[in-house]
Amino acid sequence: MRVGEREEISSFPSCFLLSSLCAEAMATGQLFSRTTQALFYNYKQLPIQRMLDFDFICGRETPSVAGIINPGAEGFQKLFFGQEEIAIPVHSTIEAACAAHPTADVFINFASFRSAAASSMSALKQPTIRVVAIIAEGVPESDTKQLIAYARSNNKVVIGPATVGGIQAGAFKIGDTAGTIDNIVQCKLYRPGSVGFVSKSGGMSNEMYNTIARVTDGIYEGIAIGGDVFPGSTLSDHILRFNNIPQIKMMVVLGELGGRDEYSLVEALKQGKVNKPVVAWVSGTCARLFKSEVQFGHAGAKSGGEMESAQAKNQALKEAGAVVPTSYEAFEDAIKETFEKLVEEGKITPVKEVKPPQIPEDLNSAIKSGKVRAPTHIISTISDDRGEEPCYAGVPMSSIVEQGFGVGDVISLLWFKRSLPRYCTKFIEICIMLCADHGPCVSGAHNTIVTARAGKDLVSSLVSGLLTIGPRFGGAIDDAARYFKDAYDRGLTPYEFVESMKKKGIRVPGIGHRIKRGDNRDKRVELLQLFARTNFPSVKYMEYAVQVETYTLSKANNLVLNVDGAIGSLFLDLLAGSGMFTKQEIDEIIEIGYLNGLFVLARSIGLIGHTFDQKRLKQPLYRHPWEDVLYTK
């Protein structure tokens, strides 16, 4: 029977001569072997790892996944083959993957139903691909018919759509077929048995693998053809194929109500094309208990008339010579009796049991089960993204937004790991605003402008400006805080402090300005001092810095307290006056460089602005004018 002609079936038996796959393609019998390799389309870590774990317990020498196809991506994916970590190539196109792995003849398609047909057709057109398994359900029927027709005319095999795949015990499996390794071991799928199994349902396949393993020596090959209305291959396709495999001594079939695929098997049995015992059951006999038509789980599991009922199919299979039990509950006994009869007749020599190798347990699962301890590689105390939403220092993101927190509050959580009073976070925000930019001529902005005009990207331009921050540009805040704190805490007078620095050959950080003078103070410094005097509980360090300024102004009119000195001294007052930091914490904050971090954060705003400004103005490459250079020997 041609799957695409199902609507035209009007009578049995004239329509069940052959299945969707051509006889030539199926006559070879075996689809897979211990050397079969596949290309996996649309990367999914778990099913690929399950395939590799199956390879390992089967004793394969090479992984069954030769390559991965992820449209638009290339490189490698790291996975495990037993205890060894391997890198599987990733290709961006089907054509590239087939060219790179010419011996991989199985295409496992994990694309969604929207793109499964197109990618499957592309794979079928590759000369190296022999079998295509389509996992997605809901593939449009018209697309499926085209795939079937192409496969039939080119001697290729389609498994699915809506399939979990298939497995040859001890050799090869598709994706998630047979589930976990524990289930595979329990079902004895790590070595070949004597039973060929085919069904429509992937879930019931797992159940039947277990059932068959309990009462026989296990399966040799199992296929789930898929539950869509038009499967790429049918029950009879695989039964006829199993009949040509010498290692398979009996077949088990699990059908379901709806459609007429089972009748092609009935016809094959009647015509003597199957000479091995077939134990069959068609599920869905309960449908008659319902007054209206019943749609079961699969798209094809819907009875369209008496002939498509489970009862009619079971009766037809029984009359054709299959072993059909009276119920699903009796299915296991029927399989057992058939197997034991074949053993008694000497047609089956039960396979000797072997012990499969142990799959090394993944570290994550071993840790979760308490079997091992493993050290962490990174420590983080400021944020946590493991819950439903990220947290900053234990404060959920939603709370930050709902409580109207500002940038200063976020900095207090991420930098200081605590929620500082509002006057502290407001001071932080003022510092950011005042230090965001200082014109295009300072070294950081100049470097950023030159880099942006060289055609570099935003990050490169920003970094080139940030790299100039140091002792001579923007990096004096930490030093100012460090020296002011040391001098004040030791009780040095401004005179003693300044003169001791002079003897050491060190300029006083935070003192001195190229433009500002004693009679022309920096407005930024005045704003910071006004805010602190109005809001801070104590400004002892700032007042000490002002006293130092008074002394330095007596020496030169440009030795004023600059913005670095103001921020440095006031941050000391913030830390000490808030009562939220110990002396040890304050010393550590100054030593680590928190205050320079404030300048880096603020100035990044301006440097980004300069980058955008140059890009917007489409400025050409900058070249420094030669007349501005002193050339000398």
Q: Is 9 exposed, middle or buried (0-12, 13-18, 19+ CB in 10 A)?
A: middle
Measured distance between the N- and C-terminal CA atoms of the chain, rounded to whole angstroms:
96
pLDDT at residue number 12? 36
- Please provide the size of the chain in residues: 633
Burial 560-590 (b: 16+ CB within 10 A, else e): bbbbbbbbbbbbbbbbbbbebbeeeebeebb
- Separation of alpha carbons 519 and 421, rounded Å: 35
Q: How would DSSP label each residue in 127-178? A: TT--EEEE--S---HHHHHHHHHHHHHTT-EEE-SS--EEEETTTEE-TTTT
Number of helices and strands (H, E) in the chain?
Answer: 24, 16
Give the sign of the dihedral formed by CA 456, CA 462, CA 465, CA 468.
negative
Which residues in the chain land under pLDDT 70?
A: 1-28, 286-305, 475
Token pair for 120: 């499957």
Q: Respond yes or no: is residue 298 known to be catalytic.
A: yes
Q: Note every long-range contact of 179-182, with CB atoms under 8 Å and residues 24 or more positions apart, other chains counting.
A: 179/206, 180/50, 181/50, 181/53, 181/54, 181/57, 181/359
Q: Which of 298, 377, 438, 610 is catalytic?
A: 298
Q: Which of 339, 135, 188 is nearest to 252 (CA)?
A: 339
What is the predicted pLDDT for the residue at 18? 34
pLDDT digits (tens, 9 = 90+) for 438-497: 999 999 999 999 999 999 999 999 999 999 988 777 768 889 999 999 999 999 999 999
- The CA dihedral of 16, 22, 23, 25, to the nearest 10 degrees, is -150
Q: What pLDDT is recorded for position 299?
A: 46
User: CA–CA separation, 572 vs 48, rounded Å?
Assistant: 57
Task: Kindly report the number of other CB atoms within 10 A of residue 437's CB atom.
Answer: 18
Q: Give me the residue label for tokens 């006889």.
A: 23
d(CA 39, CA 59): 20
